Structure 1
């Protein structure tokens, strides 16, 4: 099941606020190049490029559907490439980056104990790392999704598969960043409330991201059963509407400069 840029951007205002908060942590000093890992449609990379207009930026993303929207943002200082973070780290490109940026993408990659040191190793001597990820283990819609996927008949539909969140503890990220030479470390867990008038709005929010890998493993009939059950669980979890969904995100920043 392909990513749908239109569905993902249905909650653009909600999804973009963490991006702006993360961007505010970045210093423009000595910033000559930057890479946006998991750039999606490229719109956020374009905003970065305009703010730090003396730097050249690249955006990478594994989704061709998302990248198809990036063409309108290309410029002399901004280019895009279809590439996963795993391929980026495994490539022969050894250039060092003044900024490695990733907003709501690295939660899709496993083994953060090795992923983050690998990213930090690609920073220049004054490079900055800025990452934002949803705290899926603590977010209610993700909890409901995980519980449902482990119940019959859905666990049979999925052949026992489930998507475990790779996120580590705040302490673990702080230690990794410190051990790999980052300074001025900031790690912030912040709630970005979503106000929903009904179950459909909450379902639509998660269906544009976390739900995708589950549905792509099911037949159309199985998808219909799963979606119906999931919506019922959401309805039970939120006793009244309008409801507030306390969506938690983790913002991480560090730089090589003391």
Structure 2
């Protein structure tokens, strides 16, 4: 990540790990059952990574993509799969008509107050519709904890994470929160991801720089960012040692739920 690409999502950097990021979405999609009439909304669609799978599964329905990144939506729109793509802050989004499915893959972890957000999204659905959500639960993992620890120690004038808590609840907590609204399935999966060697950086930084590292990087100038990346690579090497070929095994936990109203 450089100072030039830190202000918006970088589709090329994000897409480097498309296969690893797509697999949880396909696992979530496999749990979506019968739906009423209505559209399918890909909420936080990014560059359209899930568009092909959603369109194949729901070929007879309009598919709409919503995201707040113009760079990512440009890629998504160019696929020619979505009926429309909409630049919106997903925290403030609402549909014109009740959709049959709101599908959100690795997006809602960026938003606070899930106890209010999820019922609001569920309320937009057509009767019998479904909310299907997948989010990373890496808050306490070294890959994400080191980001907060280093930023707070190196740039204490800009970062204080001492009161920050995980944005994503455990699966059982999601189930308890949503069960009054309908039929819930909730689960967690830890994927052991093999990250290929990277000559420019630790492979885990190559993965996180497109997502979890962005809120920190956008507040640093080029020299500060270079120093931060060097320190992050060093700490990552202790937690995620390189394999003989330079690759890394990177456990990554995700939480899933479906809510049928």
What is the deviation of 1:46? Answer: 3.5
Which residue pairs with 1:247 in the alignment?
A: 252
- Summarize the alignment of residues 1-258 of structure 1 with structure 2, pairs less than 5 Å apart: 1-74=7-80, 78-89=83-94, 93=95, 95-151=97-153, 153-156=154-157, 158-160=158-160, 164-179=165-180, 181-183=181-183, 185-196=184-195, 198=197, 200-241=202-243, 242-256=247-261
What is the deviation of 1:154? Answer: 2.3
How far apart, CA to CA, are the structure 2 residues paired with 1:239 and 1:171? 32
Query: What secondary structure does 1:175 align onto?
Result: helix
Q: Structure 1: any 5+ residue segments left out of the alignment?
A: none
Q: Is 12-21 or 243-252 further displaced after alignment?
A: 243-252
How far apart, CA to CA, are the structure 2 residues paired with 1:2 and 1:117? 29
Query: What secondary structure does 1:189 align onto?
Result: strand
How far apart, CA to CA, are the structure 2 residues paired with 1:136 and 1:36? 23
Retained in 2: the 8 A contact 1:154–1:226?
Answer: no
**1:129-164 residue CA offsets vs partner (Å, 9 max, x unmatched):** 10000002243301221222221x2223x2436875
Aligned pairs, number: 248
**Normalized per residue, which structure has more strand?**
1
**Normalized per residue, which structure has more helix?**
1
Q: Structure 2: any 5+ residue segments left out of the alignment?
A: 1-6
Retained in 2: the 8 A contact 1:74–1:80?
Answer: no
What is the deviation of 1:60? Answer: 0.2
Query: What secondary structure does 2:27 align onto?
Result: helix
RMSD of aligned Cα (Å): 2.0
Query: What secondary structure does 2:8 align onto?
Result: coil
How far apart, CA to CA, are the structure 2 residues paired with 1:129 and 1:8? 25
How far apart, CA to CA, are the structure 1 residues paired with 2:63 and 2:196? 39
How far apart, CA to CA, are the structure 2 residues paired with 1:31 and 1:147? 48
Query: What secondary structure does 1:144 align onto?
Result: helix
Q: Is 235-244 or 125-134 further displaced after alignment?
A: 235-244
Query: What secondary structure does 2:177 align onto?
Result: helix
**1:102-151 residue CA offsets vs partner (Å, 9 max, x unmatched):** 00000111111111111111111110110000002243301221222221
